[in-house]
Amino acid sequence: MATASGEHWSSRFAFLMASVGFAVGLGNIWRFPYVTGENGGAAFVIVYLACAFGIGVPILMAELLIGRRGQGSPPDAMANVAVESGRSRQWQWVGGMGLLAAFTIEIVYAGIVGWVLWYLYKAVTTGFVDVDATAAAGEFASVLDSNIGMLFWTLVGLAITGFIIFSGVKDGIERAVSVMMPLMFVLLVGLAGYNYFAGGFDDALDYLFTPDFSKIGPEAVLAAIGQAFFSIGVAMGGMMTYGSYLPRSISITQSVFIVVIADTTVALLAGLVIFPAVFNYGLDPAAGPGLIFQTLPVAFAQMPGGHLFSVLFFTMLAVAGITSMVGLIESVNAWIEGRFGFSRHKSAVLVVGSVALLSVISILSYNVLEGLRFGGMNFNDTMDYFSNQVLLPLGGLFIAIFAGWAVKRAHSRDELTTLNGLGFSVWHFLIRFVVPPALAIIFILGVSG
């Protein structure tokens, strides 16, 4: 069997950069450090790592082995592997849930990446000179009021993403991530190093890495499970699609561990980029998403070299956003190619164009359509709830059940050849008995909360 496009990664490095790029998104940059600080610092990191390796790693290995063995888009890969194991092709609907999740997330995510690009432009042109808290809040409010501005920068982000996907796996995705991801790592390390000398670094270390086990309760554990599951990017179709491009010479097990370690490292480095400035200038570390757009510009305005720092910071954010969008759209693009027999170019234009049209509703929901409610939530909140609280945990749950109970053990063993007997038995136990109940709990708590 071959993928619809017949393409494969040319190297392990290219695959790893694409996978890490997909996993590392804007949520990693601000949410992981914030959640870590609020839930016990180093104590939370320990629980998170246990969840990442106990839940995230097994299900990510499952996605990649299904993608590689099934050689197709997520629905086709699920169907192919199911038939090979003597199961019904109807398992393809689980792959379809991943595509729906990716498309739903992308509609809102594209607009947020547009904010990042707009702020990168602002950083380049003004550097947030003389910006105080009131001015920064007013600036962000004006962004949310400008539909033309938000639409323009959203389309810029989608155009960059579309060009990468339009160019193919090797000439587009590989070339882009092979430059963008090392650039992001260099920027992260450089900015963290800058903060070491600029002030506030010790406070950031205390905030992120001083263990407070009194804060580790059921809620913190659930937060760790959720963060581990969502930040690695499973059940969104992207990893399964990338797995279908993965040659058998590349170890799934080793690659997954590298991706998860890199994903966590980026998140912690982001904390050492953001929080020294926050503490050094007396800002609010609990500002959530507003931290990036309303709080940090105040710090940039006050710090020596703030103009350059702001440009580098928003460049890093833009890279994180674009590489995640590539993974989200590529999964849908691969399905369109295979399902309708379209060329990559035609399907890329169709998918990106569809996202662009629907992102207009997302943009208008920040102002004109704010009053349009679905169960008390506006359009963006509804999309976020549907994807994060319903599709992702359910999709992950079914993937785990499929890999653990429907796929023949011998077929899984054939894909995970670098695992020794004990290692494979541990993975098989986790994917059968640990991951499904954990994701069922996340789903129940998500929809009941």
3-state SS record for the chain: CCCCCCCCCCCHHHHHHHHHHHHCCHHHHHHHHHHHHHCCCHHHHHHHHHHHHHHHHHHHHHHHHHHHHHCCCHHHHHHHHHHHCCCCHHHHHHHHHHHHHHHHHHHHHHHHHHHHHHHHHHHHHCCCCCCCHHHHHHHHHHHHHCHHHHHHHHHHHHHHHHHHHHCCHHHHHHHHHHHHHHHHHHHHHHHHHHHHHHCCHHHHHHHHHCCCHHHCCHHHHHHHHHHHHHHHCCCCCHHHHHHHCCCCCCCHHHHHHHHHHHHHHHHHHHHHHHHHHHHHCCCCCCCCCHHHHHHHHHHHHHCCCHHHHHHHHHHHHHHHHHHHHHHHHHHHHHHHHHHHCCCHHHHHHHHHHHHHHHHHHHHHCCCCCCCCCECCECHHHHHHHHHHHHHHHHHHHHHHHHHHHHCCHHHHHHHCCCCCHHHHHHHHHHHHHHHHHHHHHHHHHHHHC
- 57 lies in some domain: yes
Q: Decide if pLDDT at 13 tops 80.
A: yes
Number of domains in the chain: 1
- Highest mean pLDDT among 25-34, 225-234, 355-364 belongs to 355-364
pLDDT score for 1? 44
Q: Decide if pLDDT at 281 tops 90.
A: no
Percent of the chain scored above 90 by pLDDT?
A: 70
- 7 lies in some domain: no
The mean pLDDT value for 201-207 works out to 92
- 5 lies in some domain: no
Q: Decide if pLDDT at 79 tops 80.
A: yes
Dump pLDDT digits (tens) for 215-226: 888 888 888 887
pLDDT score for 2? 45
The mean pLDDT value for 74-95 works out to 98
Q: Could you tell me the pLDDT band of residue 101, with boundaries at 50, 70 and 90? A: very high
Q: Decide if pLDDT at 178 tops 90.
A: yes
Q: Decide if pLDDT at 449 tops 70.
A: no
Q: Decide if pLDDT at 5 tops 70.
A: no
Of the given ranges (165-169, 282-286, 321-325, 339-343), which has the lowest mean pLDDT?
Answer: 282-286
Domain of residue 425: give its range: 12-448
Q: Decide if pLDDT at 231 tops 90.
A: no
- 252 lies in some domain: yes
The mean pLDDT value for 270-278 works out to 90
pLDDT score for 33? 83
The mean pLDDT value for 255-259 works out to 95
Percent of the chain scored above 70 by pLDDT?
A: 98
Dump pLDDT digits (tens) for 289-336: 678 898 889 999 988 889 999 999 999 999 999 999 999 999 999 999
pLDDT score for 391? 93
The mean pLDDT value for 259-279 works out to 91
CATH number of domain containing 426: 1.10.4160
Q: Could you tell me the pLDDT band of residue 160, with boundaries at 50, 70 and 90? A: very high
- 331 lies in some domain: yes
pLDDT score for 294? 86
pLDDT averaged over every residue in the chain: 92
- 4 lies in some domain: no
Dump pLDDT digits (tens) for 364-396: 999 999 888 888 899 999 998 899 889 999 999
Q: Could you tell me the pLDDT band of residue 30, with boundaries at 50, 70 and 90? A: confident
- 383 lies in some domain: yes
Dump pLDDT digits (tens) for 48-76: 888 889 889 999 999 999 999 999 999 99
pLDDT score for 230? 76
Q: Decide if pLDDT at 181 tops 90.
A: yes
pLDDT score for 3? 54
- 6 lies in some domain: no
